[in-house]
Structure formats: C-alpha cells, structure tokens
A and B are shown apart, each in its own frame.
Chain A
C-alpha cells in the first residue's frame, strides 16, 4: 500500500538518463536470459547426438534446407548491420529512417523465409528423430525471439518518423531515439550471434 502524496510536495523530477541506462542494462540481462534458453538447445543437440538413441539421431533422409538457412542468416545479419548504421547515423545527427526501414524489411524477410521453409521447404517432419526435434524446436524458438527484434526495429522506425515530423529540433529526435537504439542494438547483436550459432550447428555440421 502507499499513501497519497502530501499536499504541496512536488518531488524532484527524475533524470532522463536513468531510463536510458535501465534500458541498456535490461537489454543485456534479457540477452543473457535468451542465451540460456538456447544453451538448453545446444545441450539437447550435443546430448542427443552423443546418445544417438536407436540410431535415430539423424536418419539419412534428414537434411536441412540449406538455401533457406543461408538466406535467413543473411537477412538477420543484414538487418543487424543496417540497424547499426542507423544507430551511428543517429549519433552523428544524420537521418536514420532509410536504414531503419531497410533493417525492418530484412528482419521481416527473415520471418517470412522461415515460415515458407516450414510450410514447403522441409524434407523431414518434427518426428524425424533427435536432430529433427532440435531443428524444429530451436528454429521456432528463435523465430519467436526474432519477432521481438522485429517489434523493436519497427518501434524505432515509427518513433524516428514521428520525431522527424514533430520534433522542434534535431536534438529532440536524437534524445527520443538514442536510448532505445542502444538497447535494441544489444538485443540485435545477441540475436545475430545466436543466428550464426544456429546456422553452424543445424545447417553446417553434418
């Protein structure tokens, strides 16, 4: 329970930089938690591969769709790079809308490609053994986390467009965007790292 404010008392306003610091720390912690989610999948991958129950870790017909795998990875890395350029442009006081739009386009493309792969590009089902289980579970989980990245990038783009229209000065637009940009960057880098790991373990290693 909390009491009402005493009449006449106006607390000091909060420093705006506090919220920015919170966002970056929060993003780092969230990335740590996300890393542990995928650590469980990495463990499952190596554990089931080592156990190879009934010789069904990876039957010969189970091959991942290499083309989709590379295309999805390229989209994710491209989106991350575009966002980094947008963030640097923002810090330098330059416009960031075009790069943010590119980042959003690429991040959405990664989602669409993954969905297309699920619907028609797979040569095996989820019941195709240990590897198939890990493949479907891992990629679907990554897709869910990547949707979070899509949301973040879209929010940044929308804020940038609104700021460009409404902000009285360029400084104001930067102030509105920079804290979220730093936090989103942390998240995107984490996702990109996991995407590379995904590709190496699920697509590259036989």
Chain B
C-alpha cells in the first residue's frame, strides 16, 4: 500500500447539504439494506431448508435464520460503504487511508476513519447496550423479590438471564477496547491514527449489529443456555440460539480485529523516543488485552461456527450420540472464556495504574513489574480454563494441575495490586471522582480476587459451583473491577474527548451511590450462594426471601446511580458545556498536552518523547515530549522510536 499521495487528514471544505448527504453510504442505508438482506437470505434459506428438510436437529428453520443474519450483515456493511474500498482495490485503484470527507455530524453515522470519531461512536453504542443489559438485570431482580415465578415465566426468566449475561460480556469486551482504546492509544503513543482505520470502523459497526442481533433473540424464542451456550442444549434450543451464535461470532471477529489493530498500531506507529519502557501503562494494558483477543477470540469463533453447523447441516461436533462430544464445546468455549475474563480485567488494571500517579502526584511505583505482571496474567490465563470443568467430568488427575495454575494467576494479579498500593504509599492523594473510582476498584477487586481463590480450590469449587457465590464473585471482579475502572476512566478522559467538564458534585453522588449499593447488592449474594441459592433459577428457598428483597432494592438503587451518571453526561456535555481546558488534571501524559478536544490531525508534528509520563513530584524532570522538533522532516528520513533512521 502506498500512501505517498494521501493528503494529511486536515482538509476542511464546505459541508454538503442534507439532501446530498442522504444519497450515499451511511447508517440509514445500512439499516435498509440489512433489512432487505435479512429477508432475501431468509427466503433463500427457507428454500434450501425445504430442500434438505428433516435433516436439522431442532425442527426450526435454522438455515433460514442464520442465512438471514448473514444477509443482514452483508447488507449492513454494503449500506455503510465497507465494500467500496475493497472493490476499488480489486480494480487496481491506489490505496488510501481516508474514507471520504470526514467532518460535521454526519461522520458519526457512517464509516469514518478518524479514530476519535470511532471512539465516540463506540461510547454511545456501548452505553446503549449496557442500558439494555442493565434493564434485564433490573427485571431479574424484580422477579427475585418472590421465591416463586411471578411475572416472568421460568423459560422467559432463563432467556432474560442469558440475554443479560451475553450482552454484558459482549459489551464489556468492546467497552474498553472500543471507546478508550481507540481514542487514547494513538494519542498516548504520539500517532495520528490507528494502523488500520477502516478496520477500526468495521469493528464498531459489527459490534452495533451484533448487539441488535442478540436483542432479536427475544423475538426468536430466546435461548436457554446462559452466556456459555452449553451443548447439547444449544443444539436443541429454539431459533433464538441462532441469534446468540451469530451475534457472538460477530463480536468475536470484532474483538480479534480490534486487538490486531491496537497491537499493530503500538508496534509500528510509536513516536520517536517512545521506547518500550516508556509506553504508558494504559497502553500496555491495551496491548496485553489485545494479545488475548487476537488469540482467544478465533477459538470462540470456531466453536460457534461448529455449533451453527450442528444446528443446520447436522454435523455432530457436540452430540455424543453420533460421534461428537459436548465436552468439546466446554473446552473450546472456556479456552476463550477464561482469557475473556482477563480481556475484561487487564484494561481495568491499565486504567487505574494510569490514573493513580496523576492524583497521587507520585511516579508509578514499579512500572516494569506492573507490565511484567500484565503479561504474566495474559500468559497464565491460557492455562486455567479447565477449572470451569471441575464438576463436569474432568479427569480427576488433571484437577490439581488446573487448581495450581488458577491459584498461580493470583500472583501476577497480586503484584499489580501491590503496584497500586505502592504508588499510593505516603502520597498526597487528590480525591477526585476518577480517583475515587480507582480506589473502589482496588477494594472491590480484592473481594472478587479473594473469593476467586476459594473457587480455584477443587473442594470449595465443587461445593459452590452453580450457586450465587460464583455469581457474586464474577460480579465483584467484572463490575466491581472493570466497570468501576472504566467509569473512572470516563470521568478522567471525557473532558479530553469532548472538551467539556463533568460536574464533580454529581460525580461524587454517583460514585458513593454506586459504591455503596454495589456492595450491598453483591456482598449478600456470597451468603445466598453458601446457603444454597442456585443461579439461573427464579425459584429459591423461602428462607432466603428477605435477603433477596434486600438485594433487589439495593440493585435498583445501583441502577439509579447509573442514571445519575447519565444525567451528569447529558447536563454537562450537551446543556452546560463548560470548557475543561487542555489539562484539568495536570497530567503529564501525552494526550493531555494537546488541546481539548483534540484536533483532527492529533499532532501538528509527531512529538519526540523524552521520558515515561510518570515523573510526578520529581524536581527538574524533563518535559515528557518535545512537540517543536519535526521528527519526520518533509521529504527526509523518518526517525524510528529507537532514535535511528528508518
């Protein structure tokens, strides 16, 4: 690909009129063609299904539904313009990095190659789908105020739980890599763009489509398997299962491509002087997460593809009656599923370790150890998956090994925890809203981590398996950990992204509500689990009724706290719009040295990096970067990150 003829992404010309904009490739046409694609391919699938009638295991027209989803995906991507560039390349036209004109509000509704725009698109999409997943949770807690099924039938309850789990897991995977990763990684490494701008946009629009496809499962009879999609139930389930399979596969593709893009960006596009030991720890968090995404998501994709074949052309990957095995699914799924836990956790580590030094006004303690800890977690996360099978027929001789590796992973995790504590040691802490969320992250993650040690132990795992103890554990790690860190990250970086301050008082109200009610919601569930309350069932022992009512009220208050967050965003970012200034937190990181919001080209000149951005409280510390020296002389050689000539 040659880009010598590509102009720098700065050209601002007259914005086209509304009518001119309607004709083109954007969201409207994406929706229209997706609907068209769905119905055409569904019809085609019905014809094919009739031709081979009697071969499917489920009595559903799964071929039609899955082909319909495929048609919808193709239509969606065609309508958004994703096929234009590949087709032009097929005709031998030169490569380019920019997709059309990129200005005005229209760029938020189309394929856009500005990483900052894509990040904002991600933010809105993820927020929406979180809302859907959160509403599911509120309904679940509503049903659990009674010890027997009331307003939600047992089958529907299972669908609700499945939808909640899958939506949250899917969106949490995209939730940090998408908005914060895409926005911040190029800025933090001194780059103008991501390595593959179109791929970046593709991942966003696939995520959006996947979210809606998953919601469509409700209209296709739901799916009873939970987010784990266990076979053989998944093979026998109704057509809602197809929505699960297809949407999760899209998320898998998206996750893999996001990871690929971030790794390539960090490897090739770092500013001169940004040696590996100067890379911000947030970027390291993104890189380690991306490594997991690139290697684990393909296995998920393959497993989902096998399940789809079992449901359509009657292969028998997961059916023991005809040469397959459901344990194959368990192994493949958890080979992805456990690294997925760290896909969720590692960005949280990156965020809090990036924010702590800013508000502690101290250098990050043990930078290299923190990075090593992240890689340790990433490596070990591939070696623990069978602890999910402790009660599912795993060879008894293998149990000690997986118990050991699972307990081993608490060492690098603990090291990262200690890095945070070391940074806070004797610091003059500024208790801003982002800092409060980071501190809460450590508190919650400690509880989640310690309860995880119990679950890694075979005897206690066997006792608590399938109970609310497990449920409380993973909510402490994922919501108490990653969600708190991510929200802290949003409070920290949103003024940079939009250029407007968030309200500190509302932020603190949000924090205290969320922190208190989160703990009041999930801590009692450890007790509920130990008392034998099973997951995914709406009926439970009447003796647990009072506890469940208490938890439900706490959960609704927790939901209310997120409405405060939303209100803060709407009020300060859309109505009040008080300028934040370029560096309200007095951070040394590269992105804060730029105007807020960041100009479309990021850096007028690629900066030369002098040091890691953590020299807080060090007298006479050199500036982090030199923005005045042209690092890439026009027409001359470029300087590599190592300081040599490319």
Q: Which residues of A line the B interface, CB within 8 A?
A: 1-6, 9-23, 25-26, 29-30, 32-34, 36-41, 43-44, 47-48, 51-54, 56-58, 125-127, 129-134, 136-137, 141, 151, 154-155, 158-163, 175-176, 179-180
CB nearest neighbor in B for A165: B92
Q: CA A3 – CA B331 in complex, angstroms?
A: 48
Q: Does the CB pair B630–A4 fall under 8 Å? A: no
Shortest Cβ distance from residue A149 to the other chain B in the assembled complex, whole angstroms? 14
Q: Does the CB pair B195–A25 fall under 8 Å? A: yes
Q: Given contacts A14-B6, A26-B260, A40-B332, is CB(A5)–CB(B12) below 8 Å? A: yes
Q: Does the CB pair B320–A53 fall under 8 Å? A: yes
Q: Does the CB pair B497–A155 fall under 8 Å? A: no
Q: CA A174 – CA B589 in complex, angstroms?
A: 40
Q: Does the CB pair B2–A47 fall under 8 Å? A: no
Chain A proximity mask over B310-338: 1 for CB below 8 Å, otherwise 0: 10011111001111110110011001000
Q: CA A42 – CA B320 in complex, angstroms?
A: 18
B377 contacts the other chain (CB 8 A): no
B295 contacts the other chain (CB 8 A): yes
Q: Does the CB pair B305–A137 fall under 8 Å? A: yes
B543 contacts the other chain (CB 8 A): no
Q: Given contacts A36-B299, A127-B316, A158-B92, is CB(A9)–CB(B604) below 8 Å? A: yes
**Which residues between 292 and 306 of chain B lie within 8 Å of chain A, taking CB atoms?**
294-299, 301-303, 305-306
Q: CA A151 – CA B86 in complex, angstroms?
A: 9
CB nearest neighbor in B for A152: B89
Q: Given contacts A33-B256, A37-B299, A39-B299, is CB(A20)–CB(B1) below 8 Å? A: yes
* 25 A–B contacts, CB within 8 A, in A order: A1-B597, A2-B600, A3-B595, A3-B598, A11-B8, A12-B8, A17-B638, A22-B264, A25-B268, A34-B298, A37-B298, A37-B299, A37-B301, A40-B303, A40-B332, A44-B306, A44-B328, A53-B322, A53-B324, A54-B321, A129-B322, A130-B317, A137-B315, A141-B305, A163-B92
Q: CA A180 – CA B89 in complex, angstroms?
A: 11
Q: Does the CB pair B298–A33 fall under 8 Å? A: yes
CB nearest neighbor in B for A4: B12
Cβ contact of A21, chosen from B268, B315, B597, B599, cutoff 8 A:
B268
CB nearest neighbor in A for B598: A2
Shortest Cβ distance from residue B600 to the other chain A in the assembled complex, whole angstroms? 5
Q: Does the CB pair A51–B195 fall under 8 Å? A: no
Q: Given contacts A14-B6, A22-B195, A129-B322, is CB(A4)–CB(B89) below 8 Å? A: no
Give 7 nearest A-B pairs by CB, closest first: A56-B323, A162-B92, A158-B92, A129-B323, A40-B302, A130-B323, A133-B315
CB nearest neighbor in A for B294: A33
Q: CA A69 – CA B327 in complex, angstroms?
A: 30
Q: Does the CB pair B4–A16 fall under 8 Å? A: yes
Q: Does the CB pair B323–A48 fall under 8 Å? A: yes
Q: Which residues of B line the A interface, CB within 8 A?
A: 1-4, 6-10, 12, 55, 86, 89-95, 97, 103, 114, 116-117, 120, 192, 195-196, 256, 260-261, 263-264, 267-269, 294-299, 301-303, 305-306, 309-310, 313-317, 320-325, 327-328, 331-332, 335, 497-499, 595, 597-601, 603-606, 630, 632, 634, 638, 646
Q: CA A4 – CA B298 in complex, angstroms?
A: 38
Q: CA A192 – CA B116 in complex, angstroms?
A: 38
Q: Does the CB pair A2–B269 fall under 8 Å? A: no
Chain B residues whose CB sits within 8 angstroms of the CB of A17 once the complex forms? 638, 646
Q: Given contacts A47-B328, A129-B322, is CB(A12)–CB(B630) below 8 Å? A: yes
Q: CA A137 – CA B304 in complex, angstroms?
A: 11
Cβ contact of B325, chosen from A13, A51, A155, A176, cutoff 8 A:
A51
Q: Given contacts A1-B499, A133-B309, A136-B315, is CB(A141)–CB(B302) below 8 Å? A: yes
Shortest Cβ distance from residue B111 to the other chain A in the assembled complex, whole angstroms? 16
Q: Given contacts A5-B599, A11-B601, is CB(A48)–CB(B294) below 8 Å? A: no
Shortest Cβ distance from residue A72 to the other chain B in the assembled complex, whole angstroms? 20
Q: Does the CB pair A3–B269 fall under 8 Å? A: no
Q: Does the CB pair B634–A12 fall under 8 Å? A: yes
Q: CA A37 – CA B632 in complex, angstroms?
A: 39
Q: Does the CB pair A126–B268 fall under 8 Å? A: no
Chain B residues whose CB sits within 8 angstroms of the CB of A39 once the complex forms? 298-299
Chain B residues whose CB sits within 8 angstroms of the CB of A176 once the complex forms? 2, 94-95
Q: CA A10 – CA B9 in complex, angstroms?
A: 9
Q: CA A106 – CA B39 in complex, angstroms?
A: 36
Shortest Cβ distance from residue B283 to the other chain A in the assembled complex, whole angstroms? 16
Chain A residues whose CB sits within 8 angstroms of the CB of B114 once the complex forms? 2
Residue in A54, A158, A159 whose Cβ sees the most chain B Cβ within 10 Å: A159
- Please name 12 further chain A to chain B contacts, defined as beta carbons within 8 Å, in addition to the given A127-B315, A134-B317, A155-B90, sorted by A numbering: A18-B638, A22-B264, A26-B260, A33-B295, A44-B332, A47-B327, A126-B309, A127-B314, A127-B316, A133-B315, A162-B92, A176-B95
Q: Does the CB pair B316–A129 fall under 8 Å? A: yes
CB nearest neighbor in A for B497: A1
Q: Does the CB pair B324–A2 fall under 8 Å? A: no
Shortest Cβ distance from residue B265 to the other chain A in the assembled complex, whole angstroms? 8
Chain B residues whose CB sits within 8 angstroms of the CB of A32 once the complex forms? 294-295
Chain B residues whose CB sits within 8 angstroms of the CB of A10 once the complex forms? 8, 10
Q: CA A14 – CA B89 in complex, angstroms?
A: 21
CB nearest neighbor in A for B261: A26
Q: Does the CB pair A130–B324 fall under 8 Å? A: yes
Chain B residues whose CB sits within 8 angstroms of the CB of A25 once the complex forms? 195, 263-264, 267-268
Chain B residues whose CB sits within 8 angstroms of the CB of A158 once the complex forms? 89-92
Q: Given contacts A36-B299, A133-B315, A136-B315, is CB(A47)–CB(B321) below 8 Å? A: no
